Amino acid sequence: MTILNRWAALAATFLALASSQSFAQDCPKLGGVLALTGAQGAIGKVIADAGRLAVEQVNKAGGVKGCQVEFILRDDTTQPSVGVDAARFLVDVQKGACLYCQKPLSGKTQVDHFVPWSRYPADLGHNFVLAHDRCNGAKSDFLAAENHLAAWIDRNKVHQVELQERLVASALPCDLTATVQIAKWVYEQTEKANGQVWVMEKVLRHLGPEWVRCFAA
């Protein structure tokens, strides 16, 4: 995603959040892990500044439903290993299995945004999942189907305490309540738009209303 597209996605998200009736009362936090120093620092700073500017404008205009939006960034110093190290505990939490196909992680493994970055440009820790390179590649920028949603919600619930502790220890921005609200909002928007979700490999289908049950469990 280009810098301009990231900025546009961030701005679009704020506008959508500000007008959403379904977004709950908790004040939203946005942010991510970016290269703010090192070889990619110049690019990361432009993205960070654009994000900060968007947040400032939203907050000056009264915030989102009366809440001031908090913007949190962590510098990965252009070393991909920082993000990889921070997410390594996901191997324990997912018991060494891919969140999507549930098969053992072997070969190339990716840290994926469960709710795609293109749908909500924030790196909140609970949104990270480990997946096979091929599963992540096949899912691409699609929202995951209900069985994957159920697996993600279950993982975050069962390992809530451990996840919170380890995300905080890794200095990764995290807020489970906000992350769940964001996911709900994105699924709601996708259903309203008769959008498609990713099932497996190249299989996509339209999202039906049954996704709501995953959040009720």
State which residue has the least CB distance to Zn ion. 98
Whichever of 34 and 131 has its CB closer to Zn ion, that residue is: 131
Per rule CB under 5 A, is residue 111 in the interface with Zn ion? no
**Stretch in the footprint of Zn ion (CB under 5 A) among 24-32, 127-135, 151-159, 181-189:** 127-135
Record the tokens describing residue 44, joined without a space: 């990361």
Record the tokens describing residue 100, joined without a space: 């999507």
> Which residues in 136-195 belong to E strands, given as ranges?
143-144
Q: Which residue type is seen at 38?
A: G
CA 78 from centroid of its chain's CA atoms: 20
Q: Which residue type is seen at 112?
A: D
CB of 114 to Zn ion, least distance (A): 13
Whichever of 8 and 150 has its CB closer to Zn ion, that residue is: 150
Per rule CB under 5 A, is residue 139 in the interface with Zn ion? no
d(CA 111, CA 33): 13
CB of 135 to Zn ion, least distance (A): 3
CB of 94 to Zn ion, least distance (A): 11
Whichever of 119 and 132 has its CB closer to Zn ion, that residue is: 132
Give the 3-state secondary structure of residue 103: coil
Whichever of 138 and 180 has its CB closer to Zn ion, that residue is: 138
Give the 3-state secondary structure of residue 74: strand
Instruction: Write the DSSP assignment of 137-188 as a string of letters.
Output: HHHTTSEEPHHHHHHHHHHHHHTHHHHHHHHHHTT----HHHHHHHHHHHHH
Per the document, the length of the chain is 217
Question: Is 207 within 8 Å of 190 (Cβ atoms)?
Answer: yes
With CB under 5 A as the contact rule, the residue among 6, 132, 139, 166 that binds Zn ion is: 132
CB of 134 to Zn ion, least distance (A): 7
CA 97 from centroid of its chain's CA atoms: 19
Binding mask 1-40 for Zn ion (x = CB under 5 A): ----------------------------------------
**Stretch in the footprint of Zn ion (CB under 5 A) among 75-83, 130-138, 151-159, 169-177:** 130-138
Per rule CB under 5 A, is residue 98 in the interface with Zn ion? yes
* Strand pairing report for 128-132 and 29-34: unpaired
With CB under 5 A as the contact rule, the residue among 55, 135, 138, 151 that binds Zn ion is: 135
Q: How many CB atoms lie within 10 A of CB 47?
A: 22
Per rule CB under 5 A, is residue 46 in the interface with Zn ion? no
Q: Which residues bind Zn ion (CB under 5 A)?
A: 98, 100-101, 132, 135
